[in-house]
Amino acid sequence: MLIDTYGRVATDLRVSLTDRCNLRCTYCMPEEGLQWLAKPDLLTDDEIVRLVGIAVTSFGIEEVRFTGGEPLLRPGLVGIVERVAALDPRPQMSLTTNGIGLRRTAAALKAAGLDRVNVSLDTLRPDVFKTLTRRNRHQDVLDGLSAAREAGLTPVKVNSVLMPGLNDDEAPDLLAWAVEQDYELRFIEQMPLDAQHGWKRDGMITAGDILTSLRTRFELTPEGDEARGSAPAERWLVDGGPHRVGVIASVTRPFCAACDRTRLTADGQVRTCLFATEETDLRAALRSGAPDEEIARLWRLAMWGKKAGAGLDDPTFVQPDRPMSAIGG
């Protein structure tokens, strides 16, 4: 197993497949984009499958989430999913995507073995979407969501970040739409993972703000800690159920004590946390011919050093020097 000095056991693996993205969201990267990783620096498909296999067979990893950047930009994505689905034991597999291109790939991903998707969508307004993402692709995301639902990649979860002065008034509309479409909506507090380091704590829409806005239109009944388990989202039944809404309050209500995640970057580094400032290089071990046992040892050692928490609400917090697109959400 993967255990740290605080007794937390990692059962959830997040794998970034690429640092590239076809949107330029204002809270993630600058308009001109970033200096992308060179292709030789990226893990190959074989290397990804090998590392996931080590995680599943040696550590008891139960869930694998493919992320990016934008994972749909990875040419070998369907094949990777198919090969991971063939592992024994088979992990649950999900994908976090911006939804662009999902209309074309949802059926193939389902056939390959993907279980479900999380799609990022911050607004129902095409003009606001263009302002937030610097791209005119709102309808493509809506089409991708519909395709995921039709393919059976359920529950389809929608992740939304509210930004002051742009979409901070949309929480009730987003929830009404999600209920109508049978999607599970999750609001995420904006986190300091932008390449420009422009995040400011005092300008963030908090979980409290979001819940206050939702309660102007809906009755919310908390599910409670037992139902939440180690999940990052606190969830509420909407008007008595069965639909739910979640809030991931990474800044104001950190959940580090229950964290069960380990992360692989697109270039083969182990990260113990999105906000970690240290990484452990597994790619070098892979390419030097190290056996699975040695790679597992390095991975265990990295996770043993996992810190107690990110301290995002601490004024002394130091933002990581890698943007979210390079780390994986």
Residue 244 assigned to a binding site: no
**Chain center to CA of 60:** 20
263 annotated to bind ligand: yes
Q: Is 28 assigned a ligand-binding role in the annotation?
A: yes
Distance (Å, whole) CA 254 – CA 248:
9
d(CA 263, CA 328): 8
* Residue 256, annotated as binding a ligand: yes
Task: Give residues with Cβ within 8 angstroms of 217, minimum separation 6.
Answer: 172, 175, 176
d(CA 292, CA 47): 11
- Rounded Cα distance between 29 and 91, Å, is 32
> Is 6 annotated as ligand-binding?
no
Rg (CA), the chain: 19
65 is in an annotated binding site: yes
200 marked as binding residue = no
CB 52 within 8 A of CB 84: yes
Annotated ligand binding at 303? The verdict is no
How far is it, in rounded angstroms, from Cα 43 to Cα 52? Answer: 12
* Residue 262 is assigned to a ligand binding site: yes
State yes or no: cis peptide before 89, omega within 30 of 0.
Answer: yes
The type of residue at 193 is L
> How would you classify the pairing of strands 244-248 and 234-238?
antiparallel
> Is 259 part of any known ligand binding site?
yes
Q: Is 183 labeled as ligand-binding? A: no
Q: Tell me whether residue 96 is annotated as binding.
A: yes
User: Would the annotation count 21 as a binding residue?
Assistant: yes
Question: Could you tell me where the beta strands, DSSP code E, fall in 51-171?
Answer: 63-67, 92-97, 116-120, 157-160
User: In angstroms, rounded to a whole number, what is the distance separating the alpha carbons of residues 50 and 47?
Assistant: 5
Known binding positions for GTP: 14, 65, 96, 157, 261-263
Known binding positions: 14, 21, 25, 27-28, 65, 69, 96, 120, 157, 191, 256, 259, 261-263, 273
Known binding positions for [4Fe-4S] cluster: 21, 25, 28, 256, 259, 273
Known binding positions for S-adenosyl-L-methionine: 27, 69, 120, 191
